[in-house]
Amino acid sequence: MPVDTQPFRREIKSIGGVDIQVMYYFDVALDKWLSVTETTFMHARNSMNYAGYLRSINGVQETGTHGPMVPYDCTIVWVALMAENTPDTNAQIWSNGANLGALTWNSGAEYYATDIDVDQGQNISVNILLNGLGVQPNRPIATMGMRWRL
C-alpha cells in the first residue's frame, strides 16, 4: 500500500458530464488503486466451431479496432469463457487494434482467468478474438470484469 494512505479513498469522476463518486481500494497484488465496484462486458456468438471476433450484446460485428467503448480508465481483472464443447484454442483480449493478452482455452467448456492485469484507457474499444487454431468453441460466450483505475 502507498505510504501514508488509507486502504480506501473516494474520488469524483465525470462521465458524460455527470459527476459521480467512486470508492477505490489499493490492490496490493496488482500494486494499483482500483474501484470497489466492477463493470462487466459480455461477448458471444451463436455459431458452431467459431473463430473470429465475438459480438457484444447488441450484435454488432466487432473487429480489432471496433467494439464496446470503455468510458473510463480501468483494469481488466478477470475473464470467463464458456462454450457447449471443450475447445482447444486461444482467446485474445484486443483493444484499439492491439493484442493485450492471450488466454489458452483447453481445460474444458468453462475457463476462468482471475489473474488478469490489463490496463484499458478511456474511450477505447475492447473485444475478444478466438484465433482459429485448434478445436474451436461451439456458441462461445466471453465475459470480462473491469474495475476503474486511478
What is the rounded average pLDDT of the residues 30-51? 87
Cβ(128)–Cβ(114) below 8 Å: no
Convert the pLDDT of each residue in 52-100 to its tens digit: 888 876 666 777 777 778 878 899 999 999 998 988 888 888 888 888 8
* Alpha helices by DSSP H, 24-142: none
**In Å, what is the CA distance from 82 to each residue of 17, 75, 106?**
37, 22, 11
Strands of 28-140, DSSP E: 32-35, 39-44, 52-53, 55-56, 69-70, 74-82, 89-95, 98-105, 110-113, 118-120, 124-130
CATH class of 38-148: mainly beta
What is the pTM for the complete model shown? 0.82
Three-state DSSP state, 80? strand
- pLDDT for the residue numbered 58: 64
Task: Write the secondary structure of 102-127 as one string of H (helix), E (strand) and C (coil).
Answer: EEEECCCCEEEECCCCEEECCCEEEE
- pLDDT for the residue numbered 78: 93
Cβ(12)–Cβ(136) below 8 Å: no
